[in-house]
Structure 1
Amino acid sequence: MADYNQPDYVTQRPRYFNNQYLSEQDFIDEQKYHIDRQRRHDRLLHVSGIAWGLEVTSSGAVVTVAPGTAIDDQGRHLLLDTAQARTLTSEHQGTRWLLLRYQEVATNEVVGDQGVRGYTRFTETALVFHEAPGGTADDGRILLAELTVAADGRVTNVKLDKRRFSGVRLGGPSGKAFSLRSSSDGARAMLDGALALSEPLTIGTTNAARAQLEIKGVADRPPLRVSDATGKDLLLLGNDGILTVGAADRVGRVAVGGRAATLELGVGTDKQVDAGKITYQQWTDSLEIVGAGKTSDDRKLSVFAEGGTTFKGPVRLSNKLLYLRDSDTNQGLGWYGGNKLLQDRGVDGPFLFGWTGGALGTTSGGERAALFWNEQGRIGIGIARAPVAQVEIQATASNVGPLKVMNFAGNEMLTMSVDSIIKIAGAELQLRPTNHTSFFSLVALNDKPLYLRGPADKNHGLAWYGSAGTFANQKPDGPVLFGNLGGALGTLNGGERIALSWQSDGAVKIDSRNQGDAFVSGFPERVRMIRGSVHGDGAINVGTGFTVSKAGTGLYDVNFTHAFGGVPTIIATQQYTGSNNQGGDTRDNVVVVFNTKEKFRVKTGDGDGKPDNRYFHFIAIGT
């Protein structure tokens, strides 16, 4: 009986001579030899995938594969000579893989001499089929598309990004052969290994290479872009000659190795040999920036930073002056000492100088000068003009005295009030801006608020409200402690602790731990409570301090944001409005499955006791 099985290795081919008797097996062996050589070549020097055609389209529930050719991983040709259509149904809802595999069928049956029957042809074709993703069958199947099938069987999406095209395999050691094939969209060739070249490589040009790697950009594409595994830019060289390192949301870095790594700017220009460089010196562990100039005496460095320049660390001027204006050497800051004298004297300290004087000032609440001096050596404190006396002092506000002198211990020795009352070493101080204000053993605010922050913030303070004024259109006839968005009463013994807090919406928390939970102080034990309302889909409708996850139909896990000290008591009930607000069956209920310090589980059901997703409320009470 003839043997049509194709062995793994065919090492012989038929050899013919005249008058030789030939049987059907001799012709079969002839075919086996050629089949083996063709498939061995395609299997070892090509990669499996689509060679041509086999485009996939869909219309309604029908998906169609156009004619085409593919090669499977056994080197067999998968030929589809006519378009093939497959119809999806509701049973195929979800994701389906559209596949192609080799098929060989004996055909063309005839009747020979003496009534012997047999097939005279093998029909080689390809079988189009679909199945759920993830199959592991070792039958050389080729993935054509990934389909999304709706509940009614309609194909709503055809994804082609997983299609693999046939290509060329480069022979190599076992398990290390590389392949070259087209991408799934056919826009580029993909090599799955490293590329080593012994000759120069040119991209975008046919001119003779002038470097080992030469790239020429085109109008709409930069010559070089390097990305990381996520597709974010690491390096971009544009057609404008600008080199960008790092993407917008990451840190860019250019690393130059060596004991004395140098980045030199202006190469080839007429500049001093050691200028225009940024250098790292390993032996001094410092970064040196050298300005540009034709000689070592006129090197300059200009920094353009209109938004500001920040130095994280000390700035050393190396006995040089810091000038405060462009091309003006009359305004600056410097150090004088040693052989560097100021008015024939060694100051041995910093010197702030101006052409006709200067000032010390602040910017909080607007620009304000605390101290002036002029070219005559006069000093003014708190004045807004040049001083006319050697030392001139002026109060900066109507309720601030101009002078206070204290001893080493911080005790007041001399004060001058706004109404020209001078007190020397007294035990009492009186200030009279508009109303009488006394500081003795107590402070009297005289119906005026005490603001707890700077003078510009009147949203936080303490005041008395009664006959002289109202708070929230009421006269409490007592003290009111107020804040912009709320406030608290607390203690410091044993650490900061809030006894009571309130918010702008009127909510009050007693003994709050800032955990978003409510705490109630009572007897016989200290109680904590969380309440909530949950929709049937697990969404929280009312309440804070917890999250909800569904564990199944009618099963809900309620997780506390902060665990209780002990296992809490759970009270739960189901809300079922029913038709015309008459409610549902009284057997529609919710039961507590289990509860711990961290969470609890409830189960909701219908009137027959079957699990069902229902809207429920709960209260958790514990310590």
Structure 2
Amino acid sequence: MSDKRLRYYNGQFLQQQDFTAEQDYQLDRHRRHNRQLHTYGIAEGLTVTAGVGATSAVVSPGTAIDGEGRTIVLTESRNVPFNGLTGSVLVVISYNQQTSDPATVGDEGDTRWWERPDVAVIAEAGAPAADVRLRLARLQIAGNNTVTTHDTTVRTSAGVRLGTEVAIERIRLSRQGVAQPQWPVLSSGAAGQADLTGNLAVAGNIAVTGTVDGRDVSVDGARIDSLSASTIQGVSNIGGNINLVGQNGLTIVGNDAANTITFGTGSPTSIDGVSNPGGNIDFVGQGGISITPDNTGKLIAFNTSPAAIGAVPIGDYQLRNQFTGNWSLFTNDADGAVRTVDLGFQPRLVWVHGFSNCYFQASGGWSFGGVTNGSARLIGAPSNIAQHCTGTEIYRTNAIPYVIPYSAGSATEVARAYFYEYTGTVYNVVSLSIRISSFTATSLTFTFNKSGTPPGSFSFYIYFHIFGS
């Protein structure tokens, strides 16, 4: 920092350090202005595009100010990869400069400072200070390196530092996601009066010196306190209601519309068909409803719960996340082969479709096959797997019609195929199936089963779509 700036005059001889000093002075004053009269944050643009399933983020052009008062300008959209990061990550931008444009005449050296911001995706845990690497968005990255959620609440807008007393005619309070006509406005409506256009929510106490809507709050409060401290026939109920209870044949009927209370005598002959004149009628809880009497409070509480009435937790049916993959199996794959899919979320519903082919020896190299479709519901414990499918069965004989295709179902698998060949002397049969053998809160496992002797080489392909919460 210097308190001197360059003074120019005709005939002056200037060197490199003179021009450097001129730039240093201007940069210092500019950044000093930004630090002391503004708050760090985003001035305009720099929006992040990264929808669910995206494998990288795109940051639009824009401007920001960091905590050191440096102006950050992104002049072009920047595509930012995730570099294998998973979990909670931040899209950040920070100031960066480097030399560029080598000289084409005179001595060697770069002729420009290139202020090219650094835009990156970093792990949120242990991230540097927000005034150095400004937050543009928070993303959740799944194990397959794709976006599951996109959060913009980490963004901070650049602002203005106000002095101890500032004259402002109107203040319009904005909020992201709220239409501008609905923003509240604070202004001065008259001498010594502040007007608020909109609603006011207060978390804390309100101290008033004066009146509220023409009422003296302190005087009214003292009157209420004196009433609350008193009793009626020895019954104290500070600030609340006192209930009148009919007994010994006395009935009490309130009429709120007419502002009257009627006292009568006599007792009911029955209540909802239950006769017990002058006595008690018991309430009995059934069907998941419990009854709790409170003789002191003069009330009866009727309660129930989702579990008591057999309701299923809503979380078991939320399908906010999805994953798509495939599995290919061939003749050399062993019985019992497994494929575990890491999801990063709780699997709930699985949809499977695919196809299979087999080369029959008696067909001279001809291949036959068909499609398979299946689904599974994964609710509750890992052992609670409801899965079923339909698949293809191919029979090859040495007599007309030679090839007979069938379709068959299974209630224990999500994909299956069956190939049978009879050449006259040899039976070759193979049964192929895929089932979901287990699942956890973040993954599931497929198991391949193969039995019998294949008529020839085979291939088995499935494509699975997994939905979960």
Query: Does the alignment reach a TM-score above 0.5?
Result: no
Report 1 or 2 for greater relative contact order, CA contacts < 8 Å, sequence distance ≥ 6.
Answer: 2
For the aligned pair, the TM-score class normalised by the smaller chain equals 0.3 to 0.5
Is the strand fraction higher in 1 or 2?
Answer: 2
Is the helix fraction higher in 1 or 2?
Answer: 2
